[in-house]
């Protein structure tokens, strides 16, 4: 589960069978609730379903922005939700370096429909954060075959006809980084005038700041 930046939307990712009319198969589903002050609406506002690609599970585990890897050798799955800041939607980190934009749909219109998973494999990503609703900023290995120095990259989110959202796989290298960012690191993107500042906080107590120009 995760809140967006402003705290007015709560996102949850669920695994298993959904008991509702027209749906009888194993699914992975995104639910979004509207938050008003200190209260959350009883009925979720958005609901999107995807064909399940995980093994049968005995226990569901939903985490915040702390881990990107599926736990190997165990019969459970970890999903990470990366909400947009300025638009209803999020990027799903689906384990094993796979990311895809959730196609957020209103409940009453698309309750029983399944959405395609437009996944991109980003196997060298260590930590990531969505900026507003148009890019995924990541720390990844930028050398050949996933080796080499860590760098900061920006992957654009594009919007196609029919509300389809796609994530750019290649991405643009913004800068090399000096700190040893890992999956336990936290990343924030802050706008400063016409520039963006990325803040990387590492578990060893180091903090790194990278400033770069926004794409036009």
Strands 207-213 and 195-201: antiparallel
Please identify, among 121, 150, 176, the residue that sits at the C-terminal boundary of a domain. 121
Residue-wise pLDDT for 45-93, tens only, equals 888 888 877 544 333 333 333 333 333 333 455 789 999 987 888 999 9
Residue-wise pLDDT for 82-117, tens only, equals 999 878 889 999 888 999 998 777 665 545 577 888
Is the same domain home to 137 and 165? yes
> How far apart are the C-alpha atoms of 136 and 166, rounded to whole Å?
11
Please identify, among 121, 150, 185, the residue that sits at the C-terminal boundary of a domain. 121
> How far apart are the C-alpha atoms of 190 and 101, rounded to whole Å?
21
Residue 186, pLDDT > 50, answer: yes
DSSP code, position 97: T
Supply the pLDDT for residue 54: 58
Is the same domain home to 205 and 132? yes
Supply the pLDDT for residue 21: 61
Q: Hey, is 168 helix, strand or coil? A: coil
Is the same domain home to 114 and 153? no
> Phi then psi for 192, rounded to 5 degrees?
-130, 95
> How far apart are the C-alpha atoms of 145 and 125, rounded to whole Å?
13
Supply the pLDDT for residue 175: 92
C-beta separation of 91 from 82 below 8 A: yes
Is the same domain home to 141 and 55? no
Supply the pLDDT for residue 107: 60
Q: Is the pTM of this model over 0.75?
A: yes
C-beta separation of 30 from 90 below 8 A: yes
Is the same domain home to 112 and 52? yes
Structural domain of residue 187, as residue ranges? 123-216
Please identify, among 91, 121, 151, the residue that sits at the C-terminal boundary of a domain. 121
What is the domain count for the chain? Answer: 2
Supply the pLDDT for residue 3: 93
Is the same domain home to 145 and 68? no
């Amino acid at each position: 589960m995760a809140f967006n930046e402003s705290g007015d939307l709560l996102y949850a990712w669920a695994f298993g069978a959904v008991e509702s009319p027209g749906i009888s198969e194993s699914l992975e589903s995104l639910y979004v609730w509207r938050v008003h002050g200190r209260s959350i609406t009883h009925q979720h506002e958005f609901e999107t379903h995807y064909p399940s690609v995980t093994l049968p599970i005995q226990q569901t585990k939903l985490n915040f922005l702390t881990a990107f890897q599926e736990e190997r050798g165990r019969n459970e799955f970890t999903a990470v939700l990366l909400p947009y800041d300025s638009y209803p939607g999020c990027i799903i980190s689906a384990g094993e370096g796979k990311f895809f934009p959730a196609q957020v749909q209103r409940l009453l219109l698309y309750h029983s429909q399944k959405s395609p998973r437009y996944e991109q494999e980003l196997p060298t990503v260590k930590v990531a954060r969505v900026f507003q609703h148009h890019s995924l900023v990541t720390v990844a290995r930028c050398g050949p075959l996933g080796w080499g120095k860590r760098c900061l990259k920006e992957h654009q989110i594009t919007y196609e006809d029919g509300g389809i959202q796609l994530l750019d796989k290649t991405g643009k290298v913004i800068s090399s980084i000096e700190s040893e960012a890992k999956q336990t690191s936290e990343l924030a993107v802050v706008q400063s005038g016409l520039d963006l500042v990325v803040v990387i906080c590492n578990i060893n107590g180091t903090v790194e700041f990278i400033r770069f120009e926004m794409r036009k």
